[in-house]
Amino acid sequence: MRGRLVADRQGRYVDADAAALELLGLTLEELRSLRVGDLSGPHAELARTVWRRMAATGEDMSSGEGTLYLPNGAEIRVKYVRIKALPTGEYELLLEPIVARQTAQFDRPPTSDRPSTILKEWRSAERDAAAAAWDGPGAMSAPEEADDAVDKLRRLYQDSVKARPDAPSET
């Protein structure tokens, strides 16, 4: 589900489609009482600063990810598909939810002993660790768990590559 929000140059939300309102669990009136950054929790000031810079230059913004902290206490990870300047001077924000990955994925062994599968899971664990470090708690219960998982997957990948019959020798 992709939602569309519209905010003015000052960062006040002025419009939204039904998908965005459903995603946020808000009515249009409730949304109009908010400004960019109000749903950014501990990152509110950063979100407002980025918004002010973007509005001052009139530039579009490509995609990014973040955590929204909803008034009902829920947290959702979203991808900003696009933030585009409109001819009216307002900005259109397209966002979609990111399906949350469970911390449990780090507690289980890789789904295969194939190096390519292990590499894919290692990279996924590194992305999750980076998200946890950037956004703080929410994406994962503790960044240290992700760091441990990344190290384990890295070692497993390296060992599996070395164990392949066609692997170059280290001598």
Same domain, 61 and 17: yes
Same domain, 35 and 58: yes
How far apart (Å, rounded) are the C-alpha atoms in residues 171 and 164? 15
Q: Give the model's pLDDT for residue 147.
A: 58
How far apart (Å, rounded) are the C-alpha atoms in residues 51 and 35? 10
Same domain, 20 and 59: yes
Same domain, 82 and 62: yes
pLDDT at 168 over 90: no
Q: Give the model's pLDDT for residue 15.
A: 97
How far apart (Å, rounded) are the C-alpha atoms in residues 143 and 160? 26
Higher pLDDT, 164 or 95: 95
Q: Grade residue 38 by pLDDT with cuts at 50, 70 and 90.
A: very high
CATH, residue 40: 3.30.450.20
Of 51, 77, 97, the one marking the end of a domain is 97
Q: Give the model's pLDDT for residue 72.
A: 85
Range of the domain at 108: 103-163
CB 103 within 8 A of CB 141: yes
Domain tally, the chain? 2
- Residue 65 main-chain phi, psi, to 5 deg: -130, 155
How far apart (Å, rounded) are the C-alpha atoms in residues 91 and 85? 5
Same domain, 19 and 56: yes
Same domain, 62 and 136: no
- DSSP state letters, 55-107: HHHT--B--EEEEEE-TTS-EEEEEEEEEEE-TTS-EEEEEEEPPPPPGGGGT
Is residue 169 in some structural domain? no
pLDDT at 24 over 70: yes
How far apart (Å, rounded) are the C-alpha atoms in residues 89 and 105? 44
**Sign of the torsion formed by the C-alpha atoms of 143, 146, 151 and 154:** negative
Q: Grade residue 152 by pLDDT with cuts at 50, 70 and 90.
A: low
Q: What residues contact 87, with CB distance under 8 A and at least 6 apart?
A: none
Query: Which range has highest mean pLDDT (26-40, 93-107, 134-148)?
Result: 26-40
Is residue 107 in some structural domain? yes
Same domain, 81 and 114: no
Same domain, 110 and 58: no
pLDDT at 146 over 60: no
Of 97, 122, 151, the one marking the end of a domain is 97
Of 97, 112, 134, the one marking the end of a domain is 97
Is residue 168 in some structural domain? no
Same domain, 18 and 73: yes
The amino acid sitting at 168 is P
pLDDT at 73 over 80: yes
Distances (CA, A) of 63 to 41, 110, 114: 20, 30, 32
Q: Give the model's pLDDT for residue 66.
A: 84
Q: Give the model's pLDDT for residue 54.
A: 85
Q: Give the model's pLDDT for residue 140.
A: 41
pLDDT at 31 over 90: yes
